Chain A
Amino acid sequence: GAVVSQHPSWVICKSGTSVKIECRSLDFQATTMFWYRQFPKQSLMLMATSNEGSKATYEQGVEKDKFLINHASLTLSTLTVTSAHPEDSSFYICSATAYNSPLHFGNGTRLTVT
């Protein structure tokens, strides 16, 4: 079946550096990808919706200059956490779908900022 690959699965970075997380749809063309964030013992919160070839739509309260999303192709979207700080430490999850197709999730990325 369709698979979404997310990389890396975990990353540790120093405060002030940037981190890029990749989300790939492996056997289908994803017209739309979504990025979520999950705090410990909290719900997954939608951060942004990314349509191939256009700018991402961010949810209220999500800083678009801090969380840069690029959806350059139908199989790849990236989330870059810029100038990361310890409060950005979290679990980030992507999902992908094609028109009228089910939503498929990546395995998530655990980001720790020291």
Chain B
Amino acid sequence: GNSVTQMEGPVTLSEEAFLTINCTYTATGYPSLFWYVQYPGEGLQLLLKATKADDKGSNKGFEATYRKETTSFHLEKGSVQVSDSAVYFCALTAWGSQGNLIFGKGTKLSVKP
């Protein structure tokens, strides 16, 4: 079946540090891949997505590349800010099923000034 595995947190970084949150997946066919972010007290928000192999999703300085050969979609940011503190979820959907998101367990990021 389809599944998503992401690195366990919490992750604590200093401001301007480099961020990587690993995400690997198992899926049949050609899934779409997503990163969602949940800021404190708010709902989930789509951060970025990629719908096919080698696509790079990017938003707010975050990037992730859909790697079919390694079944990975690692989230990266070159210089994190305190405002990036949140919980990050990697997710996938099988083709044709937008709402049936399969989520990873989430990784809590805390950025210290």
Instruction: Name, among B4, B43, B46, B89, the residue most crowded by chain A CB atoms within 10 Å (CB to CB).
Output: B43
Q: Does A95 contact B (CB under 8 A)?
A: yes
In the complex, the answer to whether B98 meets A107 with C-beta atoms within 8 Å is no
Contacts of A104 in B (CB 8 A): 43
Please report the total number of B residues contacting A with Cβ < 8 Å.
Answer: 18
Binding-face segment, B13-21, B64-72, B75-83, B99-107: B99-107
A49 touches B100 (CB 8 A): yes
Number of A residues with CB within 8 Å of any CB on chain B: 21
- Give Cα distance in the complex from A4 to B36, angstroms: 16
Interface: B113 (CB within 8 A): no
Q: Is B27 in the interface zone, CB < 8 Å from A?
A: no
Q: A41-B105, A43-B105 are in contact. Are A95 and B99 (CB under 8 A)?
A: yes
A108 CB contacts on chain B under 8 angstroms: 43
Q: Which of A42, A93, A97, A103 is the one whose CB lies under 8 Å from B105?
A: A42
Q: Which residues of A are interface residues toward B (Cβ below 8 A)?
A: 4, 6, 32, 34, 41-46, 49, 93, 95, 97, 102-108
